[in-house]
Amino acid sequence: MSESNVHARRILFRSKYMISPCTDWIWFLGFPFVALAIALACHRSLPMMALASVGLWITIPHHLSTWLRTYGLREDWERWRWPLIVAPILIMGTTVAGLLMAPITLLFLTLLWDHQHSLMQQHGLARIYDFKARTGGPQMGRFDLLLHWFLYGNMLVTSPMFFRLWGAEVYRWRLPVTPQSLIWVQHSSWGALAAFLLVYTGHLVWSLRAGYGLNPLKYLFVFSSYFLWYSASWQADSLLVYGIAHRLMHGVQYMVIVNSYLGHKLERATSQGASQAWTVWLASAYASHRTRSFIGMGVIYVLFYQLILLRPFDELGFGVINFMQIGPQPRPGMSDVSQAGAYDVFAMTLIQALPLTHYYFDSFIWKVSDARVQQGLE
């Protein structure tokens, strides 16, 4: 075999880590399995109030990272000044109105946005693997995005946990459907996923033959992410269990990449002698023990305050919102929502209402194709 053929074969697969081998294996490739185990352990040993608290205290530091990124970096503030000012006011006002007038509808809308945001974050992180390794052809990003939509959408349509939610809501809306038609929708979803996987595999083969390399770490990352999502949605009987597993993976991975991003921005600003003192202070503060102390205080709050006091769940809504009055299921044969199920809905609505500004900001500040974003990733 000639030297040129050996070289061509060698570059077909280029393994390049997002941050570093140790960081990637701990937080991006291996952590989803740990997060799933933690969620299942919480389900067996912690009361519902504690599950909601864990979800909240995983989510809050995660959102803090977004606020630090968007409002602390001068270049972000100068590029998106008005969206950063107006959007939080509109989103928070809409959220308050939704909690007061249509909390169940708000829950479903925020869940849909959360799902879209979740798959887009994993898609963006996967794209960083290709960016670092300089792999993938010009159309790989679009095929990867479709892969996420098919995989994630199929989970929402076919998994028992999510089907119980949207199936009941379809009947509540009095749409002309039958149990057979819902089963047909699920079968069609599996068929569409299988067909796209064949198309995606064909594109990978074409990419290799065209000389574009592939980064195996990207596909290991995608597998670990969907292993958590599919396992939690098929095996767990609680939205909160799914929420803890998902938020552990989603939130921790986000904080790790933001910490790395701000660190690179700090190094670049320091090396260039930048006069943006507040940007340098922000990056150094984020990388210091102060952020870890904030997260630690949240953990202490969960363990010692809510686990010990275990105040009634309704008190989280200050008596304004009462989810214990959810009515009976509209279709014969479907069991009514239990008190535990009502707790789930109540807790998930409160947790889901918090991150709407985070969803909005992340929809435009993390474009891997953006040259300024790439500076913080290299």
SS3 at position 13 = strand
Q: Is 34 within 8 Å of 149 (Cβ atoms)?
A: no
**What is the sign of the dihedral through the CA atoms of 94, 99, 101 and 103?**
positive
Q: Which residue has the higher pLDDT, 113 or 272?
A: 113
Please tell me the distance from the alpha carbon of residue 321 to that of residue 225, in angstroms, as a whole number. 34
**Which range is most confident: 73-77, 91-95, 166-170, 250-254?**
250-254
Q: Whole-angstrom Cα distance, residue 73 to residue 279?
A: 5
Residue with the larger pLDDT of the pair 327 and 149: 149
| 140-158: pLDDT as tens digits | 999 999 999 999 999 999 9
Question: Which residue type is seen at 105?
Answer: T
Are 258 and 62 contacting, i.e. CB atoms less than 8 angstroms apart? no
Q: Is the pLDDT of residue 29 over 50?
A: yes
pLDDT greater than 70 at residue 117: yes
User: Model confidence at 261, in pLDDT bands (50, 70, 90)?
Assistant: confident
**Residue 203: both structure tokens together:** 């594109």
Residue carrying structure tokens 């570059």: 11
Residue of higher predicted confidence among 190 and 305: 190
CA dist 60 and 5 (Å) reads 52
- Cβ atoms of 137 and 207 within 8 Å: the answer is yes
Which amino acid makes up residue 358?
H
- What number is the average pLDDT over the span 215-240? 90
For residue 17, the model assigns a pLDDT of 95
**Which pLDDT tens digit goes with each residue over 75-99?**
788 888 898 888 888 887 887 777 6
Residue 236 neighbours by CB under 8 Å, 6+ apart: 39, 40, 43, 161, 242, 245
Determine the structural domain holding residue 201 and report its residue range: 3-377
Number of domains in the chain: 1
Q: How many whole angstroms separate alpha carbon 377 and alpha carbon 19?
A: 8
The secondary structure of the chain in percent helix, strand, coil, rounded to multiples of 5, reads: 80, 0, 20
- What does the block give as tokens for 85? 């000012």
Q: Indicate the pLDDT class of residue 326, thresholds 50, 70 and 90.
A: very low
Q: What is the Cα–Cα distance from 91 to 102, expressed in whole angstroms?
A: 15
Q: Is residue 59's pLDDT more than 90?
A: no
C-beta atoms surrounding 360 within 10 Å: 20
d(Cα 354, Cα 340) in Å, to the nearest integer? 22
Taking every pair of Cα atoms in the chain, the longest distance, rounded to a whole number of angstroms, is: 77
